[in-house]
Structure 1
């Protein structure tokens, strides 16, 4: 039995795929064992070590990827490509293992037989007679298939076995002109061969060489034992893969060198996916220059410098790096990557970006960047203004687009001219607040940390800087209080009683909701709280077309671009922000530790 098992052999037990990594005895037990690495690394019990003895190594780094199973355990039977195709697309009874289909030819003139009233049994299995008319229809349907999904069907195509079959059938020893797939389903355009029992890349080539219309190939979750090819085989791949534009190789756990080498076998590849391959720093491997769309999600990148070989892709337009561990632009001792200007869209969501310095340098790395996704990074979960006030996630996105001047799309939302105007003015006001909260000795360093400061000042004018003679520690109790000066508007003055003051001052914690602030104001002025509007007079001046309430409204604007452009004139008006009634805290509305608020009637 030992000859049936070898390192790298693919097996399936009860639908769970695994790879043989060891065959032999295990100390403290009787008999022989198979050491297997499960494709699902959470299914096992150890990492190839038992009782302090290392029996084998796993490709997966998780500590529960391996198990020992008895070699007598019966694996799931493998299928050929055509068997799997018929199993999924042409068999009506494939879910019943006790039914055997028998193909018979029927005479059209023969009278209906009565023996069909009782099932026929052969070797204990029920037999279903299927006429050739029905079979011809099923085969015709297979012949027309364009999208074929054979994932998880225990498909294998061992080349040595194919040669042996052809020899036994009296065919040439070298099955260079196999037509089993082409004869059955020649029109396939999209093919998914994921999570099967393939061991050699030659098996994939042997399938694709018969499908001259194939444009998209998916081989996710396969664990190839051997991806090496001779020079003659590599030359043949240029023909076998000639029409394939999209290739997906997720969760193969191949090295970057192996992945890149296989990708070069596709001469006209445009879209390539190599996610979930435990990749780290990319070295010793270059992808084909034809690639325009590249996805490397869920790997182990820590810095953009880990991707340096990708800067050699002259036609790359879209790069997806979602769900990695990227926190830096460059690691110590590494070269700063600079991608071609063709690359305009980058997805960095679900990484570990935690600083504005990273955001500011993105245009250095991606000079053609116009669309970005940065959602779900630590930076946006704990944002604070210079005065210690907590900022919302939306504030963070506004500051992001303001810092990246060429950006046209953020988090899948197009940026209108009006939104850019609002964001840049808001960003400039935040710089002003930061300058106000720090002594003049730090002004040069603060300005240097905002790369667009001079450009924005030239566009909108310098921000107002009001330095207090006594600076407040942002972590102190005083920093958690806002000194509000409330005054009644002219319309509100006319409805209050004569003995009621027209203004008052109150220190309110930043964590109080706007509802709470309305309650304080309503009680002081003797007015119904929900009949009042609180309007913060910021003291800033903005272009006449700027939306005074933009910071607190929804991200997408409904106004047309023509209307947006009308607001770009030189006339300036006071910037005012309404504290909209709700559970949002006053600290997320107001910048600084003091605020003048006008109280109006609704």
Structure 2
């Protein structure tokens, strides 16, 4: 038997502790990173080496990264080690585990002549926007030709090959002296000394990816890695204390990716804030466990920070630090005599999939000096099922944003959103308390004045025909479809309280459409009408069925009823 199951019955008293492991003979030790022989993607950490009661020979207790083991480190009532999960551990024969290969061995293995299709697909690096970019491949016909051209290689991916160590700096530099991008995702690297050796051997290295390598807690003195611009440490078990130690060796770092490291704190002390990182433009902290916005405020004086990625954390509230909330600067800080605003260069803030549920958090985003790109999707405050804010309200409340949830906010969309928002607020106003109105809708007065919208109280009593007629909105309607062309346009006068959903029903009646699904658009003046093509530039979809006509800017436009079952949109 090569792997033991936690459900197998063996002799021995319940609860008895295992004898101290003897990690010798096969060269394995506690903490060693290994992978299953023949499967370098099945990676784990050695937690026990020794005998298992009831079974002959030596066994290795492994805690698997993917959580797919057989038990939690105990077998037959005896605890041999403690695994991270209830079923992430198992016992394996030493012969079925590999302690890995060296960096240059991995390089030769990946670029050998008979590489598989899967391996060739993995020959990529991450761009600065974290997209896969195929790397430069050398001649595939002759192995020796490849090896001779290693010196010309600029980018390489040596992912999931079981690389666990590095040769000397001179040996590496002699083979690949010009590497600029290196992806080592999913290997067995754990020693920072090896990373330092690699970087020292590759003086041109700018982008280094170490995702899914579980790194040691202790960081020795590393050489100054002056060429590194992008460092990816996703799912590496990194703490912020380690980040603080690393920054001394990364004077020119521009992008730092720290996804999925179970981070909950930025720095050790609540009164401190992050210093240094003078060139850091992008900081990625997605998929961590940060709950308190106070931790994020510790990053507020990173003077070059332009993008902060916080998707999939546990943030409930956000704010911009007012004067009395700002962290105290140390007496030896070089920013004491400077006039520096918190997050003064931050342009992009990604907050998707958090727990934000209050309007104050949304409105506080207006205080960030240069913030233009925001992601708020999958938060309670924008969840339609919980009465969350629709997109047009977010746009109206956020004065400076040009990108919301990954979509550009055009000038037209901003204007329409702001007009709809003001009219929505006016329709729901219950009192004339200006202070309360200012508190609930900080931009209402500004937007009302900007767009010249007059407040009209609902009239009492029954309006006469002339009065009712004067309040109607004139709408030009056109109906088009790929197979039927364009019907004769109509002009109708409709009450301003007509909803988009009601207008669809009216269009079905006006144009005698039966059992046909249609979609409404506003066509800007001068935009071409092309029944046989997809609606594109110059058109704005009316998709919110509860919107009222008087929320929509219908000046210099036509309303287009386009048949969905005929045209692909």
Distance in 1 separating the partners of 2:454 and 2:371: 28
Partner of residue 567, structure 2: none
1:401 to partner: Cα distance: 2.0
| Shift in alpha-carbon separation, 1:590–1:488, aligned structure 2, 3 A | closer
Distance in 2 separating the partners of 1:490 and 1:77: 74
1:450 to partner: Cα distance: 1.2
Tell whether the 8 Å contact from 1:251 to 1:276 is kept in structure 2 after alignment: yes
| Shift in alpha-carbon separation, 1:57–1:316, aligned structure 2, 3 A | farther
Partner of residue 555, structure 2: none
| Shift in alpha-carbon separation, 1:50–1:397, aligned structure 2, 3 A | farther
1:189 to partner: Cα distance: 0.6
Distance in 2 separating the partners of 1:76 and 1:194: 17
1:254 to partner: Cα distance: 2.0
299, 317, 321: which is aligned to 2:288? 299
Tell whether the 8 Å contact from 2:235 to 2:259 is kept in structure 1 after alignment: yes
Partner of residue 409, structure 1: 403
Tell whether the 8 Å contact from 1:432 to 1:463 is kept in structure 2 after alignment: no
Partner of residue 254, structure 1: 238
Give SS of 2:394's match: helix
1:467 to partner: Cα distance: 6.1
Tell whether the 8 Å contact from 2:71 to 2:90 is kept in structure 1 after alignment: no
Partner of residue 370, structure 1: 372
Partner of residue 268, structure 1: 252
Unaligned runs of 5+ in 1: 96-132, 163-174, 385-389, 471-484, 493-501, 531-535, 537-543, 548-553, 560-577, 593-599
1:453 to partner: Cα distance: 2.2
1:283 to partner: Cα distance: 2.3
Does 2:308 match 1:319?
yes
Tell whether the 8 Å contact from 2:347 to 2:371 is kept in structure 1 after alignment: yes
| Shift in alpha-carbon separation, 1:7–1:76, aligned structure 2, 3 A | closer
| Deviations 1:537-574 (CA, angstroms, capped at 9, x unpaired) | xxxxxxx99x9xxxxxx999649xxxxxxxxxxxxxxx
Partner of residue 244, structure 1: 228
| Deviations 1:448-473 (CA, angstroms, capped at 9, x unpaired) | 11111232233234652536999xxx
1:303 to partner: Cα distance: 4.0
| Shift in alpha-carbon separation, 1:29–1:363, aligned structure 2, 3 A | farther
Output the TM-score relative to the length of structure 2.
0.67
155, 171, 179: which is aligned to 2:170? 179
Question: Pairwise mapping of residues 309-458 of structure 1 onto structure 2 (< 5 A)?
Answer: 309-329=298-318, 339-364=342-367, 366-382=368-384, 396-435=390-429, 438-440=430-432, 444-458=435-449
1:199 to partner: Cα distance: 2.3
1:266 to partner: Cα distance: 1.1
Distance in 1 separating the partners of 2:393 and 2:476: 36
Tell whether the 8 Å contact from 1:433 to 1:465 is kept in structure 2 after alignment: no
| Shift in alpha-carbon separation, 1:74–1:558, aligned structure 2, 3 A | same
270, 291, 297: which is aligned to 1:308? 297
1:278 to partner: Cα distance: 1.4
| Shift in alpha-carbon separation, 1:82–1:511, aligned structure 2, 3 A | same
Question: Pairwise mapping of residues 118-133 of structure 1 onto structure 2 (< 5 A)?
Answer: none
Tell whether the 8 Å contact from 2:475 to 2:494 is kept in structure 1 after alignment: no
Tell whether the 8 Å contact from 2:475 to 2:493 is kept in structure 1 after alignment: no
Partner of residue 221, structure 1: 212
Partner of residue 2, structure 1: 23
Unaligned runs of 5+ in 2: 1-21, 117-140, 328-340, 462-469, 478-491, 515-519, 528-533, 552-558, 562-569
Which is worse superposed, 414-423 or 290-299? 414-423
Partner of residue 88, structure 1: 110
Distance in 2 separating the partners of 1:579 and 1:228: 55
| Shift in alpha-carbon separation, 1:529–1:289, aligned structure 2, 3 A | same
195, 202, 221: which is aligned to 2:186? 195
Give SS of 1:11's match: strand
Does 2:148 match 1:140?
yes
Tell whether the 8 Å contact from 1:348 to 1:372 is kept in structure 2 after alignment: yes
Q: Indicate the structure (1 or 2) with the bigger Cα radius of gyration.
A: 1
| Shift in alpha-carbon separation, 1:326–1:465, aligned structure 2, 3 A | farther
Tell whether the 8 Å contact from 2:28 to 2:49 is kept in structure 1 after alignment: yes
Distance in 2 separating the partners of 1:490 and 1:154: 67
Partner of residue 546, structure 2: 587
| Shift in alpha-carbon separation, 1:69–1:56, aligned structure 2, 3 A | closer
1:11 to partner: Cα distance: 0.5
Distance in 1 separating the partners of 2:297 and 2:475: 64
1:404 to partner: Cα distance: 1.5
| Shift in alpha-carbon separation, 1:40–1:513, aligned structure 2, 3 A | farther
Tell whether the 8 Å contact from 1:514 to 1:585 is kept in structure 2 after alignment: no
Give SS of 1:310's match: coil
Tell whether the 8 Å contact from 1:486 to 1:503 is kept in structure 2 after alignment: no
Distance in 1 separating the partners of 2:189 and 2:475: 81
Tell whether the 8 Å contact from 1:330 to 1:336 is kept in structure 2 after alignment: no
Tell whether the 8 Å contact from 1:350 to 1:375 is kept in structure 2 after alignment: yes
1:271 to partner: Cα distance: 1.0
Partner of residue 570, structure 1: none
Partner of residue 9, structure 2: none
| Shift in alpha-carbon separation, 1:316–1:7, aligned structure 2, 3 A | same
Distance in 2 separating the partners of 1:359 and 1:85: 49
Question: Pairwise mapping of residues 483-494 of structure 1 onto structure 2 (< 5 A)?
Answer: none
Output the TM-score relative to the length of structure 1.
0.63
Distance in 2 separating the partners of 1:224 and 1:17: 13
Partner of residue 44, structure 1: 69
Distance in 2 separating the partners of 1:503 and 1:511: 14
Distance in 2 separating the partners of 1:183 and 1:403: 58
